[in-house]
Amino acid sequence: MAVFAIVEPRFLTPVNLFNIARQVSVTGLLAIGMTFVILTAGIDLSIGSLLAFAGLVAAAVAKGGLSDRFTVGDDAIGYGWPLAALAAIMVGVVGGYLQGFAITRLRVPPFVVTLGGMSVFRGAALLFAAGGPISGFDAGFAWWGQGKIGPVPVPVIIFLICAIAAHIVLTYSRFGRRVYAVGGNPEAARLSGLNVNAITCMVYVIMGFFCGLCAFVLSARLNSAEAVPGTGYELTVIASVVIGGTSLFGGVGTIFGTVIGSLLIGVLLNGLVILNVSSYIQQIIIGVIIVLAVAFDTFAKSRRRSA
């Protein structure tokens, strides 16, 4: 951060800092859900595609259906933001459950299931959008992505509330302890009487919930929904979680670490944008960060075993 502030004075302006907070709140919501998944030694590569599909469904509900999907203007008649939010979350939850079911019941590896899900949900989004965006929501819908409570953007408040709730669940609830147990040693967890399949499936449902919530917030922020949002979010979110200290091998990690990791990635990407660094180079940097973080985690794990 200090380097960016020295090179570019605009970096530490209040406007840019709030912009970083808005950006982090979107990927941060996904990172919270991904923390649950990675804690069980799983992975979800479909989050960007599921987000796009859920956002389109929410937008269609808010606009009153598909017939006026291309209408622009505040006079569009829809079902309102509550049903739109519920629709997005339901799409995310169902998508997460279907993937969790395939992983636990059909015994297909998470990487394969969610890689397929990435293609399926993106295709569904493209089919649903029929080549165009859905835009022009009412003020009540847009407030959830563009509004403020005092000086703080609403998406940031949503992110912080979700982070606190997730921290409480993982730290103090029975379910949270079981998630750590399954990630640490699934066979030992099974022998101790835990329903490993149910817990594993549930973390993908939780991931789906956050995909749906994020889809609603992002659509409200952009005042539109289309099939392309969420592209490349997978790497950014995984990097945020891993940098925050969650092990890809499962069983180790915290929501607090994920929040810090999300902030670090958000600051890094924002600084690179301000310095006019190419988006292609940004992707390279994110990839290198993931490899280095996993390499460090592997090294630390081998040291603990040899100690």
Is the model's pLDDT at 232 over the cut of 90? no
Q: Token pair of 85, please?
A: 């939010």
Asked whether residue 213 carries a pLDDT value surpassing 60, the answer given is yes
Q: Give the mean model confidence (pLDDT) for residues 190-205.
A: 96
What average pLDDT is seen over the chain? 87
CB 142 within 8 A of CB 81: no
CA 8, CA 5: separation in Å to the nearest integer?
5
Question: From residue 306, how far is each of 292, 295, 302 by CA, in Å?
Answer: 21, 17, 6
DSSP the chain: -HHHHHH-GGGGSHHHHHHHHHHHHHHHHHHHHHHHHHHTT---S-HHHHHHHHHHHHHHHHHTSSTTTT--STT---SHHHHHHHHHHHHHHHHHHHHHHHHHTS---HHHHHHHHHHHHHHHHHHHHTTS-EE---HHHHHHHH-EETTEEHHHHHHHHHHHHHHHHHHHSHHHHHHHHHHH-HHHHHHTT--HHHHHHHHHHHHHHHHHHHHHHHHHHHTEE-SSTTTTHHHHHHHHHHHTT--TTSS---HHHHHHHHHHHHHHHHHHHHTT--HHHHHHHHHHHHHHHHHHHHHHHHHHHH-
| CA gap 163, 33 in Å, rounded | 10
Residues forming beta bridges with residue 152, ordered by sequence position = 149
Highest mean pLDDT among 87-101, 128-142, 272-286: 87-101
User: What is the rounded CA–CA span in Å between residue 237 and residue 33?
Assistant: 10
pLDDT of residue 137: 83
Give the pLDDT confidence score for residue 279 in this predicted structure.
81
> Would you say residue 267 has pLDDT above 80?
yes
Q: pTM for the complete prediction?
A: 0.89
End-to-end CA, the chain: 36
Query: Tokens 């979350």 identify what position?
Result: 89
pLDDT tens sequence across 126-172? 998 876 788 888 888 889 999 999 889 999 999 999 999 999 999 99
Average pLDDT over every residue of 245-264: 93
Determine contact, residues 244/258, Cβ cutoff 8 Å. Answer: yes
Q: What is the pLDDT of residue 2?
A: 56
* Band of pLDDT at residue 277, cut at 50, 70 and 90: confident
pLDDT at position 307 is 60
pLDDT digits (tens, 9 = 90+) for 46-86: 999 999 999 999 998 988 754 444 343 444 444 688 899 99
For helices 279-306 and 255-274, the axis angle rounded to 10 degrees is 150
- Calpha distance 216→224 (Å, rounded): 10
Distance of CA 182 to the CA centre of its chain: 22
CA-angle at 103, arms to 97 and 105, nearest 5°: 90
Q: Which residue has the higher pLDDT, 121 or 77?
A: 121
The pLDDT of residue 272 = 83
Tell me what pLDDT residue 70 has: 38
pLDDT value for 53: 96
Tokens of 190: 């099974």
Give the Cα separation of 13 and 5 in Å (integer).
9
- pLDDT of res. 131: 64
Please compute the mean of the pLDDT values over residues 218-234 and round it to a whole number.
89
User: Exposed, middle or buried, 67 (CB in 10 Å: 0-12/13-18/19+)?
Assistant: exposed
Confidence at residue 5, expressed as pLDDT on a 0 to 100 scale: 58
| Among 152-161, 186-195, 279-288, the least confident range | 279-288
pLDDT of 76: 43
